[in-house]
Amino acid sequence: MPKTLLWMAVAALTLAPVAARAEGAPAGYPADYAKLIETSKGEQGVLVYSVMAAFNWKPVIEGFAKKYPWIKVETLDMSSELWDRYNTEKASGARTADLIASFGVDRWNEFIAKGEAVAHASPEESHLPAWARLAPGVYGLSADPVLIVWNKRLVPEGTKLDSMAAVAKFAEANAAKVKGRLTTYDSGSGTVNASFNWLWSTMHPDAWTTLQALAPATKFERSGGSMLEKVTSGEYTAAYLTSAITVYTKINEPARKAILDWSYVKDGQPMFVRAMAVAKGGRNPASARLLMDHILSKDGQIAFAKGGLTPVRDDIAAGEIPYGTIGQVAEAVGGADKLRFMPYDEASVASITGFVERWKRDVATGGRP
């Protein structure tokens, strides 16, 4: 037999069991799950609209491809405009997202109320805490802490900016030096960016005193990546209530590690529950369901953790992921009672909308009402 044909024959025998495993339903899944897998073979991949970058998705997509190699996953890294884009595309009959993965208390409530979330019951649901089961077919895929990050060369040695109170104290003691040198999300730009400061504020009746005190020292950004780069360069001294998924994957780069330090927020730790749902307007619902279930599986959660997200599942140990579990975050800030998970109830819609308006009036003006 020619060498080429021999190689092909051996490869076929070697790969056949892999292909067979890839097409079978995962262990413990319903018997009819195989029908969903078979249906996906006639679809055209999965289009995901999310607020996560390609490097966050990479480990997840690689693991998914091993299970379902015929499904191509395309992710678009977007901000709050993803909701309007989805609505416009669906109304016009254009191709739109099969799966949406984002946060945004008001927009998710609107999406659910309009019946746009497909009520897919994931076989992985039993491993999720109640706060990650947001509505039928709407699940939390991660619960990510916000952090305080600072440039060690611009902060006195031994100073730990490990709480909002510590940041405010530092800003007051160094008012002239740090004016315009702190940063956080621009809450005035809309409810999605406002979520970071809003959720922390729900833990503190006197939160506006702190936020207004920090205003003269603060410039506002719309991207966690921009904040991290500018703290690294020294343009900013520190960033408060910034996204962990940007920091985790970059903080240990040798050049940054020598410059940056970071902390969880010890006077109230916001945990951002990123939600996902199969979208009614998508054209590939079976493939989208498979991706959702993979994300919620233990393998999928560990993969997202490698991309910088914090798993929501209850069966992932600290040694299985490169960054902190929810339990480790709780321990670092002094107990689980210090954590506040992003709520998605209707009352929160009114609360965050009011927060944005007050921010524009009392904080965006530099702390002058």
The pLDDT of residue 9 is 37
- 238-243 and 46-50 beta bridge pairing: unpaired
* Mean pLDDT within 322-332: 96
What percent of the chain shows pLDDT beyond 70? Answer: 93
Beta carbons of 288 and 99 less than 8 angstroms apart: yes
**Average pLDDT over the chain, rounded to whole?**
93
Tens digit of each residue's pLDDT (9 = 90 or more) over 346-360: 999 999 999 999 999
Task: Give pLDDT, residue 1.
Answer: 44
Residue 8 binned pLDDT confidence (cut-offs 50, 70, 90): very low
The whole-number average pLDDT for the span 114-124 is 98
pTM metric for this prediction: 0.89
Mean of pLDDT values over 163-192: 97
Domains of the chain: residue spans and CATH: 3-143+273-320 (3.40.190.10), 144-272+328-362 (3.40.190.10)
Residue 197: Cβ-neighbour burial (10 angstroms; 0-12, 13-18, 19+): buried
- 23-75, pLDDT tens digit by residue? 678 989 999 999 999 999 999 999 999 999 999 999 999 999 999 999 999 99
Per-residue pLDDT, averaged over 97-115, amounts to 96
Q: Is pLDDT at 6 greater than 50 in this prediction?
A: no
Do 180 and 219 contact (CB within 8 A), yes or no?
yes
Span 251-264, average pLDDT: 96
Q: What is the mean pLDDT of residues 330-336?
A: 98
Answer for the pair 134, 140: CB distance below 8 angstroms, yes or no. yes
The pLDDT of residue 17 is above 50: no
